Each structure stands twice: as C-alpha cells, then as structure tokens.
A and B are shown apart, each in its own frame.
Chain A
Amino acid sequence: MSATPAFEPKIVAFVCNWCTYLGADLAGTNRLEYPANVRIIRLPCTGRIDFNLLIKAFEMKADAVLVSGCHPGDCHYTSGNYHARRRWMLFRELLAILGVDLDRIHFTWISAAEGKKWQQVITEITEKTREMGPYAYLSPARTATDEQWREEAVS
C-alpha cells in the first residue's frame, strides 16, 4: 500500500426491500450521484431489522449505520415499520446510556419515490461521518488488563 489514503467512512445501510431499496433504485435510474461509501443490506421489511444486526455492523467497524424503510402507513407488510419504530425508540435509549455515539446511527423513512431523499440522506451521512472521523466503537479501550483484551489478530 502507498501513502495512507484519506479517511473514507464505511456506512452500512439496512433497508427494506419495498420502499427504501426501491428508492435507492430510483436514485440510480435518475442518475442522482452520491458518495460511494454506503453498503446496502437488503431485508424484506424494517420489521426484520433486528438490533443485533446493528451491533454486529459496529463490531465490523462500520463508521455509521443507517436503518431505513417505508413511511408509516406504507409498509408492504402493513405493520413491520410500526413495530420497528417502537423498537428503535427504545434501543436508542439503551445506546444512549451506554454512550454509543448516536450521531453514528440514523433512522429514516424513504419511500420508493424518494430517490432524491436517498441521495440527500446518504450524502449527508457520509459527509457528517467523514467529518467525525473513524468510529472507535467501545473505546477508549481498557488498558489496565491489556492482556485480556488481545483482540482479534486480524484488523
């Protein structure tokens, strides 16, 4: 590898198949440019997006996570997003008390018609995350018993 490249945030987006994924498709169809930092994980419904997935994304060194689905009332499965909304509301409380940076985890509703919104959301998140720098989830690392924390040899 040559010189250290500028920081490029890694953004993981968990999106529902019927609204936000199609919204992102529409952004493509309309050739709406946005930063290439986002990786979409397609799930059928926001109802399927479990909090454990978000934790895993941070463990895998995501710098920001986006969760997005159909607007209230639009859910393909009628109520998955309502269940998700309530879950996330509570989950954010837990993250807050743990001191997880809430600026690293975003929730939006983006419909299949909102290609423009997808573009804006991704651009904003990418820029904001780029400004904040890499996310060191679970840091500062404990030093007192350093040996216990010999983390994965791979980085």
Chain B
Amino acid sequence: MIESLRKICRDLLQSNEVQVVIGYGQSGPGKPVHPVFVRRPEDIHQLVWNEHCYTNLVAYLKRKEVQSLGKAAIIVKGCDERALVVLEKESQLERKNLHVIGVACEGMGEPRLRKCQTCKVRLPRFANEVVGQMASAVDDSRPRWNELEEFLKQSPAERMAYWVEELGRCLKCYACRQVCPLCYCERCLVDKNRPTCINTSATPKGNFAWHITRAFHLAGRCVGCDECTRACPVGIDLRLLNQSLARAAEEQFNYRAGMDPQAEILLGSYSLQDKESFIG
C-alpha cells in the first residue's frame, strides 16, 4: 500500500502536477510519526503510512509557509477529509488547487483512538484518488455519544467542578487552536484587545472564556478529528465539548459537519422550524 501511495506522489511531483506532497514521515522504526513536506520525487521514500499517522494534515493548508510552496497534494484519512469539505464551504480553499490523496484507514493508535472506534468515514469520499482498501467492513452500529451521555449523568455542579479542574490546567499555549484544521482566523478573537472579549490570562475566567469560544466557534463545523485533544500538553478532554455541540447539531438539525458538501452551513442558515422550546 505504501508503495502505491509513494508512486502516486512521485508521479505527481515528477509531472509537476503538484509542487509539494504533505504526508507523514518517520525518522526510524518506533520513532514518532510526523508531518513531512516532500518536494522532490527522489525524496518520496520519506513517506510512511501506519497506525501512528495521527496528525490531521489539513491544518497545514492554512499556513502561509506551506501555501508558498506551490500546489499541494495532501494525504488525508476519511476523518481529516471532512475538514476539507468544511473549508471549501467556507471559501478557504479551492479544490482545483489541491490534489487530495485519500487513504483507507483502519483506525489510528494501539488501542484505537476513541474517534476511530465509532468512525463512519474510513474511506475518503471526495479524494482525487483513494489508496488501499478496507480490510473490515465499517461497523455503523456503535453508539457515538456514550462518553458524552455518561458525563451528562453528573449533576451540573459536578460537571462544573470537573471543568474547573480540567480547564484549570490550561496553559493557554493554544496548541488546540493551532492544530485545528478549521481554526484559520488571521487574528484569533483571543488575541484581540479593544475590547478584550476573552481574558488572555490562564485563570478560570480566561480559560473558560477561551474554551467556550473555541468550542462554540466550531459549532456545526468541528469534524471530530480530535487533534485539539491530542495536542493538549495538559490532557484536557476537549473532545467532550466538541461532541456536545456535534450531537446537538445532529439531533436538532440533522447536521454533521463535513459530511455533505451540499448542506448549508449550520450557523449562518436557519429554518423557520428550528426548535425553541427553551425560549419563553
């Protein structure tokens, strides 16, 4: 499989169809897998594919350093690809200027990551080509909201206590923002003063305001790649916040971000039938 992936990428570089391949590399067996940018056909051996290819490489498309390299081919998993769908809807990329190589994915990590256990998009759907095949059928039946439902069994006060503890650790390093393929603002709201909407201090106020904002700015957009959670150096389970909004989007509006390229963006459209039982 890796050979066919490399061949496709080599051909793309050789034909100058693309100037850079954004993929995964590894400095040796057992070493961490990390993003690589292959620009010469002879360097194509740097590409690897295994169950440690965690990074959602779509995050690089927003970086001007990467944009300046020329037209890119990007290797995506099914989950990563959903971010491409959202970005295209939000005018952040033109599909014709990007070559998408999908890779069939059996899941990442040993044991599998949480998102992989309930994944329904193991085969990329809109890629220019898809490498590999699924060894096992997609199991559609697994419930996706178990953790969330379990968490919501706690009382509001217990939940608040949990988050005060969790978000209390936040260092404001913004790794969650930087790795997110959909956080592409040129100037993040947290970096805006006059007025200061979000306190920059790593205090409870500042941290709550930041994480509420981060999560809510992804409402109806987050594709559940969980990169924010993976990147957090102090182990904050941001996945829970993202999931609560994703579930609401799905249950209230029958909307899943990045699944249907035709669907109208959730926030920014409305329906006269939207529920309002909470409004007095």
Contacts and interface: CB of A to CB of B under 8 A. Distances in A.
Answer whether A and B touch in the complex at a CB cut-off of 8 Å. yes
Interface of A: 51-52, 55-56, 59, 72, 79, 82-83, 85-94, 96-102, 106-109, 121, 138-142, 145, 148-149, 151
Contacts of B165: 142
B248 A86 contact: no
Given A98-B208, A98-B241, A56 B159 contact: no
11 contacts: A59-B199, A59-B209, A72-B272, A83-B267, A85-B270, A86-B266, A90-B245, A98-B208, A109-B279, A139-B160, A141-B164
Nearest to A79: B270
B205 A97 contact: no
Contact of A94 (B168, B241, B269, B274): B241
Contacts of A96: 152, 156, 244
B274 A138 contact: no
A138 B160 contact: yes
Contacts of B164: 138-142
B240 A89 contact: no
B163 interface: yes
Interface residues of B, number: 54
Interface in B226-271: 240-241, 244-245, 247-249, 252-253, 266-271
B279 A52 contact: no
Given A97-B240, A97-B241, A99-B159, 10 more contacts: A55-B212, A72-B272, A83-B268, A88-B279, A89-B278, A90-B245, A97-B244, A98-B160, A109-B280, A139-B164
Nearest to A150: B203
A98 B212 contact: yes
A153 B270 CA distance: 44
Contacts of A72: 272, 276
Nearest to A145: B168
B208 A51 contact: no
